[in-house]
């Protein structure tokens, strides 16, 4: 069986890994220069910073096994179960959030190891030279490939929000024990994460994620959102120093939650998967890719 997976994010790599282990011939086509998608880490001043997904949550047994495997090899580490909530600065506890000492993209690179991944490969239509094609990407991007009707319908049903991530590099750490924070009712700032604490190297780096409203205003010029987010962090956390600011635009950052009972969409030999099929998590994307692999093999 020949399968083409379009997209080397966590869903595409999960699908390709499961298919390959079952004996299928799989090509992964990725338009970017690296694997990972929104499981993204970018180098600033010689250090990788996580600019996409903020962390992993592993409450599915199969995904938890994978995360435990990563931990045993030093690729993942339990980070925190506590976030601050602003305004007010109260604390909220929840599931353990997992991070990666080498940046979250290192986990995608581990999944990609040994797979036939073809980077910087632009796909402008559903590939015709395969028994099955898996579109592992946000619905709006899948629509650009003119997919068959059921895939187009599923893609059109998805709603995505943009986000601008701002990497804030300070001369020194001065925000205390705030590992991560949810910021409610703010027009510009949605979350802040201490990347030095998250990565475990203590670097004086915060990563701020914007609200969808701010991102929508600045999608054409994302650098203009950087000072706005830096000021919002200063006001929220009381950080006095001025940071160096770097920004990254995510046009399709986070989907509205989908039906958790539906793991993918299918139409003939074409499939659509990703974190829009359930709660918008890294785990959801991984599970969606695995579910497609099982379905392709059964068919």
Asked if 28 and 12 count as a contact pair (C-beta separation under 8 A), the reply is: yes
Q: What is the CATH number of domain 54-103+160-255?
A: 3.90.660.10
**Token pair for 36:** 């990972």
Non-local (6+) Cβ contacts of 115 within 8 A are: 13, 16, 17, 20, 26, 28
Residue 86 confidence (pLDDT): 96
What's the CA angle centered on 281, arms 279 and 285, to 5 degrees? 95
Query: How many C-beta neighbours within 10 Å does residue 231 have?
Result: 13
Residue 238 confidence (pLDDT): 94
The CA distances from residue 230 to 104, 234, 240, in Å, are: 23, 6, 11
Question: Residue 226 and residue 243: Cα distance in Å, rounded?
Answer: 10
Sheet holding 189-194, edge to edge: 90-99, 77-86, 180-183, 189-194, 205-210, 160-169, 244-255
Q: Which residue stretches of the chain have pLDDT < 50?
A: none
The helix/strand count (H/E) of the chain reads as 9, 15
Stretch (H or E) spanning 156: helix 149-156
Residue 299 confidence (pLDDT): 84
Q: Which of 289, 269, 293, 294 is nearest to 277 (CA)?
A: 289
The domain limits of the chain are 1-49+105-158+258-299, 54-103+160-255
Query: Buried b / exposed e across 236-246, counting CB within 10 Å, b at 16+?
Result: bbebeeebebb
* Tens digits of residue pLDDT in 54-76: 999 999 999 999 999 999 999 99
DSSP of 164-190:
EEEEEE-SS--STT--EEEE-S-SSEE
Regarding the domain with residue range 1-49+105-158+258-299, which homologous superfamily does it belong to in the CATH classification? FAD/NAD(P)-binding domain (3.50.50.60)
Residue 176 confidence (pLDDT): 87
Residue 283 confidence (pLDDT): 98
Q: What is the pTM of this model?
A: 0.96
């Amino acid at each position: 069986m020949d399968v083409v997976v379009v997209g080397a994010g966590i869903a595409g790599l999960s699908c390709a890994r499961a298919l390959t282990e079952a004996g299928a011939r799989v090509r992964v086509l990725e338009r970017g220069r690296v694997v990972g998608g929104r499981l993204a880490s970018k180098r600033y001043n010689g250090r990788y910073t996580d600019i996409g997904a903020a962390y992993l949550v592993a409450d599915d047994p199969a995904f938890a096994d994978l995360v435990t495997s990563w931990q045993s090899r030093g690729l993942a580490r339990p980070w925190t179960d506590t976030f601050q909530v602003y305004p007010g600065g109260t604390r909220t506890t929840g599931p353990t959030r997992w991070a990666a000492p080498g940046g979250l993209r290192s986990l995608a690179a581990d999944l990609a190891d040994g797979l036939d991944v073809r980077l910087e490969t632009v796909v402008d239509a559903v590939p015709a030279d395969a028994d099955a094609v898996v579109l592992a990407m946000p619905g709006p991007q899948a629509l650009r490939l003119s997919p068959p009707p059921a895939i187009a319908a599923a893609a059109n049903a998805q709603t995505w929000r943009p986000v601008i991530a701002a990497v804030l590099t300070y001369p020194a750490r001065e925000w205390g024990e705030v590992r991560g924070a949810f910021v409610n009712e703010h027009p510009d700032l949605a979350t802040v994460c201490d990347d030095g604490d998250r990565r475990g190297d203590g670097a004086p780096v915060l990563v701020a994620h914007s609200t969808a409203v701010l991102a929508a205003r600045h999608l054409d010029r994302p650098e203009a959102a950087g000072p706005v987010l830096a000021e919002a962090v200063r006001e929220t956390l009381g950080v006095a120093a001025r940071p160096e600011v770097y920004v990254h635009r995510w046009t399709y950052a986070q989907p509205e939650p989908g039906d958790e009972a539906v793991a993918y969409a299918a139409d003939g030999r074409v499939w659509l998967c990703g974190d829009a099929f359930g709660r918008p998590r890294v785990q959801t994307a991984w599970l969606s890719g695995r579910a497609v692999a099982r379905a392709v093999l059964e068919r």
